[in-house]
Amino acid sequence: MRRPTVTNPYVIVGGGVAGVSAAEALRGAGFDGRVVLVGEEQEYPYQRPPLSKGLLRGEVAPDFASLRSPAFYETNAIELHLGDRVTRIDPRARRVECASGTRFEYNKLLVATGGMPRVLRVPGSDLPGIHYLRTLAQRSVCARSCSSIRTFWWWAVVSLVVR
């Protein structure tokens, strides 16, 4: 495992592909200070494209989407602070504050927080069965919803055939 030398870390906010790639690139370029990656989601950083494909169809396990193995972060001394949201950045104090109360003083800061789905604002957009798909957790909800639709159609077809 690498031994970081600088006290105040390079803090990366956002545990998506951009944040992880930045952390990896820092180590690849020989940066030997502390690297802290703060991500709102509980899971190890993962890629999103499989959420709407193999993962939604239940063809692959959730760890299929993992960007890197847990050992990668250990080996490269990338400190993960997951399941916590950065709520405030104080550039004068060079500090980020998280919802949990955890604070990180930083030497350098990268904000890689990605985007959010645009919320549908049309009549009926609050009806049950309308879902947004951006996270692993939302993928589970969508998959359950799709499977209940499949079950409905299966029963509808069976009912028609039996009549």
Interacting residues with ligand FAD (CB under 6 A): 13-19, 38-41, 48-49, 51-52, 85-86, 112-115, 133-134
Asked if 64 and 55 touch (Cβ cutoff 8 Å), the reply is yes
Residue 2 or 53: the one with the smaller Cβ distance to ligand FAD is: 53
Q: Which one, of 32, 38, 37, 33, lies nearest residue 8 by Cα?
A: 33
Q: How far is the CB of 5 from ligand FAD (least distance, A)?
A: 26
Of 48 and 94, which CB lies nearer to ligand FAD in the complex structure? 48
In whole angstroms, what is the distance from residue 77 CA to residue 33 CA?
9
CB atoms within 10 A of CB 55: 22
The least CB distance from residue 117 to ligand FAD, in Å, is 7
> What minimum distance in Å lies between the beta carbon of 74 and ligand FAD?
20
**What is the SS3 assignment for 159?**
helix
